[in-house]
Amino acid sequence: MRNQRMYDEFLELVQTDSASGKEDAIAVKLTRKLEELGFTVTMDDAGPKFGGVCGNLIAVREGELEGALMLSSHMDRVPNGFGIKPVEKDGVLYSDGTTILAADDISGVCAILEGLRCTIGSGRPLPRLEVVFTIQEELCLGGAKVMDPSVLKAHVGYIFDSPGGAGRFINGAPGRYILKAEITGKPAHAGNAPEKGIDAAKTMADIISTLKQGRVDEITTSNFPHLESGVGSANINVVSDHALIEGEARSRDLQRLLDYVEYFRAHCQKVADEHGAKIKVTTEENFLPFLITEEDESMVIAKAACDKLGLPFETAVLGGAFDGNIHNARGMACIGVATGYAKNHTTEEQLTLEDFFRSGQLCAALIETFADRCKAQ
């Protein structure tokens, strides 16, 4: 069944220009919409920490029942998201082909707003509802990372930010480390005395050519797309004295991820020593993995909500990350909710309207199911 309210709101918001670091126009509209629903809305100071103009929106509506539930999605979008012109064809929304559609993640925003309107409008007793609309999610989960978690009381949360049909839930995602190796060689004249130099470029090439990368195992990957080398000048007649390797490692298992990080460090050092080069390896935790079992309260509620709507209940584990990685690491059982989009981050992005409308119903069902559990306790 078509939901004209959700449809119109989606068109309104995707045609409101937004980008990572420039979410202010969307934030103004969402603040008004949430306040109309009885929420107290605050904006934190996350924006300036990343050079942005807007912080995370954190909205709270105190409830009549004990307990708290968090609902979240993000306000930013990947580049090429200005001037979006949505086009509907055969029950699917697209852009006009020159931009993304920004269903990632405006569809999630709309699903949450619809679920709130339905449940609050019903007049039924509800728990404390916490809505978090984050900034700069597309830039390594920036807004969620710096948000103060103490403002939230919920121990269960749903992130409406995932491709797939209504009823698909993301209960796991990998962790990620940023890996970097800076190699220092020794310059020398490439024609007169190359043997007197230490070639940083050759060292880099030998590290990469012998490094385990790509699909390391069934749940672990690595990728090193950033390679550079050179000397103090642009001349190619000087043996390279500097090189850089930069990339990432991901795994759904924290120990395997840490093992790969240590392997990368040891491998780089070994090859550098063989060449007589100096090397500095740095590793940075970006986000941690999580996996939530179907016995967890968040999953039990999700399945019950699907049963209520007659939706097929499906779980999946991602190869990428979302704000749920951050919340789970802080102790909140937080799973992703699909909202009907596909091919996100591309000009072929699309939104299946039936699944999109059902995601609004699913949000309401999640709130109602959680409320029923609160009453039963």
Question: Please, are residues 130 and 69 in contact by the beta-carbon 8 Å criterion?
Answer: yes
Question: Please, are residues 135 and 46 in contact by the beta-carbon 8 Å criterion?
Answer: yes
C-alpha separations of 313 from 70, 115, 155, 294, 305 in Å: 20, 18, 22, 11, 9
Amino acid at 197: G
Terminal alpha carbon distance of the chain: 35
3-state secondary structure of 18: coil
Residue 87 tokens, joined: 């086009």
DSSP for 27-89, written as a single string: HHHHHHHHHHTT-EEEE-SHHHHTT-S---EEEEE--SSS-EEEEEEES---SS-SS---EEE
Q: Which residues contact 53 (CB under 8 A, 6 or more apart)?
A: 21, 22, 23, 24, 47
From the candidates 44, 76, 105, 199, which is the catalytic residue?
A: 76
Positive or negative CA dihedral for 84, 87, 92, 97? negative
Question: Please, are residues 238 and 294 in contact by the beta-carbon 8 Å criterion?
Answer: no
Q: Is 217 known to be catalytic?
A: no
CA distance linking residue 198 with residue 203, whole number of Å: 9
Amino acid at 340: G
Q: Is 8 known to be catalytic?
A: no
Backbone angles phi, psi at 155, to 5 degrees: -110, -5
Question: Please, are residues 229 and 201 in contact by the beta-carbon 8 Å criterion?
Answer: yes
C-alpha separations of 357 from 131, 132, 162, 302 in Å: 19, 21, 15, 17
CA distance linking residue 288 with residue 326, whole number of Å: 7
From the candidates 104, 114, 130, 137, which is the catalytic residue?
A: 137
Backbone angles phi, psi at 83, to 5 degrees: 70, 35
| Residues involved in catalysis | 76, 137
